[in-house]
Structure 1
Amino acid sequence: MAEAPPPPQEVADRVFANVRLLLLCVTGVLQFGLCLPPLLVHDHAPTAWLAYAAFSAVVLLCAVWVAPRRPLPTPVVALGVVVVLASSVTATSALPDGGHFQAPHWSFGLVGWHLLLLLLDRVPLLLCAFAAHVVDSVVQFVLADLPKRVEIGAAGAVLLSVTSFQLAILWITRVLHRSSRQAAEAAAEQERAATRVALARQSELDLRAGFAGQLGATLPLLADLADGVLDPRDPDTRLRCSLAATQLRRLFAENDDVPDPLVHEVTACVDVAERRGVAVSLAVSGAAVPVPKDVRRELTGPVAVALSAARERARVSLLRTGGEVRVAVVADAGVRVVAQSPRVEVECGTYGEHTRMEARWRSE
């Protein structure tokens, strides 16, 4: 049997897990490979090393959950964002003169990768954090010294290139997340459709098998009637025809979609008897309980036999409790009904010209 596809949400979450793992690698390379040399070469204030250590701690902390592809806990995300933004302010304030948006400004591009790593699946918070980081960097750039037009242009180019690339990563991730979710939903719907088709085919096969089994007993009767072997006026022949009609009517009712299948099938047997002129009273007590189809067939089989043999009057009662279902028939017919299955107990007694039959099924 084919394995069921994973839920769409689980498939979509894998996108965040895989992209976050890639971001962890990128951030680690930038942190320890590209940001450390500017910190060593240029003359930064001592607080820059404190900011660098804080950035490194965030990367190592995130690796505990990101490496095994587990979602980041909310407290870790909140703490990481606060540390990253505070470290960004500290690192920018520790730059040497004229270092804003230049080679010494090692932290500007790094902050965005940290925020992506932490807030990849929280877009509104990520955009707010990005905005706070950019505003702080620009404010410190302006307050540090009155920038010249060339410096403003260079700063704008750096700011646009870095932020646009990082936001593009965010957009691509969201597209992948949405596409994977839609693909998973389509696969799940296809699986559900295949399951419905398989169930419909199985139901059709069961229906055909039931009809074939029932017609297997009816066709010889029809053939004998057509060939003149049986006399329609003979009481035994009429009894066999009545029983066949009742069984076929019950078989048709078995496949109807109704709230209470057992009552529906018993009523079908009663209808056939009433069409023959038998006065039948039906009493039903107890709430509906789920009864398997094969058990319903065994419960109503004796009812069909007793009603098909009734001459003028019959009484049918259906009693249902939490753990037991009983179907009883009292008819003016001298017919013997025996149990056909160990699951359903059948008691039958003849009292003069009347027969009392009871079929009992225990669900527990």
Structure 2
Amino acid sequence: MRPPQTSLPPGPAEREFMTFARQFAFYGRTVIIGACSLLAVLAMPVDEMAVTALICGAVLAWCGVHLACADAPGRARTMLAADLVVMTGVCLSRPLTVPETQAAHGGTWVVVAISFVAVSYQLTHPPVTGALVAVHLCLADLAGAALANPGTWPEAVPVIAWVLVEAALARVLFGLVLRESRAADAALAGAAAARKDLEIAEARRAAEREHLAVLHDTASATLLMASLPGSPVSRGDLRTQAARDLDRLLAGQAAAGEADVARELTAELAAHPGLTVTARLADDLGTAPGAAVAGLRDGMGEALRNVARHAGVTAAAVTAERTGPTLRVTVADEGVGFDPAAVPTYRQGLKLSVTGRMAAAGGHAAVASRPGRGTTVRLTWPGEGAPGAAEGEELIGRHLFRGLRHAGLIILAAIHFGLVLPTLLGDLSGYRYPLLQLVPFGVLTAVVAVTAVFVVRGRPWPRRWAPLALAAVFAASVAATSQLPSIDFLTFPHWSFMETGWFGVVLLGHRGLRAVGAFIGCHLTVMIVQLLAAGVPARADAAGMAVSALAVCGFQVAVVLGTGLLRARGDAIGAAARDRETMRIRAAAAAHIHADQRERYRALHATVFPLLTALAEDSADPADEEVRRACAREATRLRRLFAESDYAADQLIHELRACIDVAERNGVTVQLAVRGEPRGLPQDVRRALTDPVITALAAARRTARATVVRAPGQVRVGIVIDVPEAPIAAGPAGGVRIRRVSGEGRLFVEAACAA
């Protein structure tokens, strides 16, 4: 049994387009019918204007009612029936509202009105309903033409039939833009899915970096100090620091929302009683996002701890200032200084706790130091900058204009080959100079063909193509119009006027209404000059020509205006989509981060937390050898954890050097010998290989020698220390075999695995 078919809800671009299409249809028909009504009154003889004005006033009143009630719930069928009745009445009023002479111009205000009504139904109703309405209106107008001119009504058939063509073209335009709106939604959804995975991964990575930075600033530093023989830090200070570390580690991530910059910095300054800090905090620091403030606060704190540990001075200067959205915090000392380029890659202080923190918060850190010249650390957070070009806006604009270009080309081709070509060939003998019609038609055909090649292939045309093509179109239109008598202007013999504006839509639509309007305006101006040169028309004839111009140019301008306005909504569409997606991403990222945090804290509860708790409760004495070894062992494991977060060419050696660094800080001289090329080993295998080394180094007194041998099919990591009875707690894991040999005052431990 097949599962029931369910349709996906429309995306933001499709919803916006459908809403806009309805509003555009309702307001557009009201404006067009209003303009047509005014021209209808002006076209009538003076003694008949009152009746025409009364009928047109009633039609305008109905347009107001239709505009107010079109979206009323439960009234769709009633409004449709009433609209058909009113528009049928308009068609049958031809004898009262259309002067006899106006029929010679190939169209009337009634034709223009029903054509826009038929077009509006293509934008607001299903295809079948739209088609039936268009056919009904054409039949009604044909009946009105028969009432007005019983002997010549067949002459109105081609004009009225063109209403069906316009309705069909409007349906094509609607379908193409709707399709591109859905394509934009699909592109947005695809980009959102990719962005979701990327942002979740980045959020998890940022949370991990912050976790490592906090561990470095707290547990790692405290355990390292506790492991040092004859540590300069008193037992009381260690107890206070361990308690503070536990509070900090259990506090978790920085709170969301805004945080007071000055308050957070002041609180951090108070946590360094051993330093004399000269602080100058500006009065206008204000607030900033919690993550940014945490990065500035903790980066400043680590810089001050480095002063206390390494600078050889007891004084530092801190300044904090704000310039616009940018926050800057500077920590300076006049200590011994150092060469930043000479810091080994496995040293994590500046990388994790200063530069890494600021990068994660969207800022940056700069460290300036020279031996003997002191050190200056500058932390900068540039503020939450305005987003760049909105992805949603770009996607939606690109798809909408692609739909406009395809639809415009289809409409242009339909007019050129379906309407103009048969008319031109049928009336060719009626022109004074037929060649002046055939040559311009050939020029326009060439422009249509070349433009179609670019559009179908989906390639942008050369920069010079649009101006050259439009110049050729303009010249062809002027040439084709130059020999027309005034009575033929804006009728079927004036074929060039019907399609010239569509070239502007296709070639200039991406530049917006101003460019297309300028082209159509220039075309109208030149055409009016040619009309006046051919002979000034009578008032009724001029009104009829104005109706024809409104019908032709109004549709062109409406298409460009509608697409431009819809594109202008692209930023709002994209912003709404991004807001919804951001909430989903944050929820998913929070769930992942929470799970990661629980796993990290589970490991800490088994190792680091018991030691910190014992130190904080003063139940562990750092002078005790076992306590010192335990602190050294866990401090080394934390340093290895920090090194694991790096990207090194030889990851195993990089992590091993981080382990050796702790032993060297404890006064052990360690030699390292490496043979063989790097191997790509999983993290759990690398940990199993280095765990015996960590335990042995924690027990070493003065000397140790580490070796790494990478032979074909095997990797071996060995350690020799000067304490033969040292306990080695590591056991086989991840396919790693442990071998231990003691004698002659030394202990040799080797971990090996297949590779």
Q: Same fold (TM over 0.5)?
A: yes
1:51 aligns with 2:440: yes
Identify if the C-alpha distance between structure 1 residues 85 and 347 changes in structure 2 by more than 3 Å, giving closer, same or farther.
Answer: farther
Question: Aligned partner of 2:595: which letter?
Answer: L
Matching residue of 1:21: 406
Question: Aligned partner of 2:461: which letter?
Answer: P
Identify if the C-alpha distance between structure 1 residues 96 and 58 changes in structure 2 by more than 3 Å, giving closer, same or farther.
Answer: same
Question: Aligned partner of 2:418: which letter?
Answer: G
SS state of the match for residue 174, structure 1?
helix
Query: Which of 92, 98, 111 is matched with 2:481 structurally?
Result: 92
Q: Show CA shifts across 1:199-245 (max 9, x none).
A: 554454344334435645789x99xx9xxxxxx99xxx974884477
* Alignment map for 1:129-140 (pairs within 5 Å): 129-140=519-530
Note if contact 2:505-2:516 (Cα within 8 Å) is conserved in structure 1: yes
SS state of the match for residue 120, structure 1?
helix
* Alignment map for 1:299-318 (pairs within 5 Å): 301-302=691-692, 304-310=694-700, 313=702
Identify if the C-alpha distance between structure 1 residues 164 and 248 changes in structure 2 by more than 3 Å, giving closer, same or farther.
Answer: farther
1:172 aligns with 2:562: yes
CA RMSD of aligned residues (A): 5.4
Matching residue of 1:61: 450
Distance 2:733 2:402 in 1: 59
What's the CA shift for 1:306?
A: 3.2
Note if contact 2:423-2:493 (Cα within 8 Å) is conserved in structure 1: yes
What's the CA shift for 1:139?
A: 2.1
Distance 2:449 2:750 in 1: 75
Distance 1:97 1:297 in 2: 94
Distance 2:524 2:416 in 1: 19
Note if contact 2:504-2:520 (Cα within 8 Å) is conserved in structure 1: yes
1:12 aligns with 2:397: yes
Matching residue of 2:197: none
* Alignment map for 1:147-226 (pairs within 5 Å): 147-180=537-570, 182-184=572-574, 186-187=576-577, 194=584, 198=588, 201-213=591-603, 215=605
Structure 1 portions without partners, runs of 5+: 226-231, 284-290, 318-326
Note if contact 1:258-1:264 (Cα within 8 Å) is conserved in structure 2: no
What's the CA shift for 1:88?
A: 1.3
SS state of the match for residue 104, structure 1?
coil
Matching residue of 1:286: none
Distance 2:571 2:530 in 1: 42
Distance 2:416 2:732 in 1: 81
Distance 2:572 2:705 in 1: 55
Query: Which of 532, 535, 538 is matched with 1:142 structurally?
Result: 532
TM-score by length of 2: 0.35
Which structure is higher in RCO with an 8 Å CA cutoff and minimum separation 6? 2
1:247 aligns with 2:433: no
What's the CA shift for 1:163?
A: 2.9
Question: Aligned partner of 1:81: which letter?
Answer: L
What's the CA shift for 1:169?
A: 0.9
Distance 1:107 1:239 in 2: 99
What's the CA shift for 1:353?
A: 5.0
Distance 2:691 2:448 in 1: 73
Matching residue of 1:322: none
Note if contact 2:607-2:634 (Cα within 8 Å) is conserved in structure 1: no
Identify if the C-alpha distance between structure 1 residues 199 and 314 changes in structure 2 by more than 3 Å, giving closer, same or farther.
Answer: farther
Distance 1:346 1:132 in 2: 89
Note if contact 1:270-1:280 (Cα within 8 Å) is conserved in structure 2: no
Query: Which of 85, 104, 108 is matched with 2:497 structurally?
Result: 108
Note if contact 1:330-1:357 (Cα within 8 Å) is conserved in structure 2: yes
Q: Show CA shifts across 1:304-326 (max 9, x none).
A: 3234324x557899xxxxxxxxx
TM-score by length of 1: 0.64
Aligned positions, number: 334
Structure 2 portions without partners, runs of 5+: 1-188, 193-390, 615-619, 672-680, 707-716
Distance 1:93 1:252 in 2: 88
User: Which has the larger displacement, 106-115 or 8-17?
Assistant: 8-17
* Alignment map for 1:242-281 (pairs within 5 Å): 242-243=629-630, 246-247=633-634, 250-251=637-638, 254=641, 278-279=666-667
Identify if the C-alpha distance between structure 1 residues 198 and 23 changes in structure 2 by more than 3 Å, giving closer, same or farther.
Answer: same
Distance 2:705 2:581 in 1: 45
1:83 aligns with 2:472: yes
Note if contact 1:48-1:94 (Cα within 8 Å) is conserved in structure 2: no
Distance 2:596 2:635 in 1: 15
Q: Show CA shifts across 1:150-196 (max 9, x none).
A: 55544444444533432221121123334456535654675566556
Distance 1:106 1:252 in 2: 83
Question: Aligned partner of 1:120: which letter?
Answer: G
Distance 1:116 1:347 in 2: 82
Question: Aligned partner of 1:134: which letter?
Answer: L
Note if contact 1:250-1:266 (Cα within 8 Å) is conserved in structure 2: no
Distance 1:329 1:352 in 2: 15
Matching residue of 1:34: 419
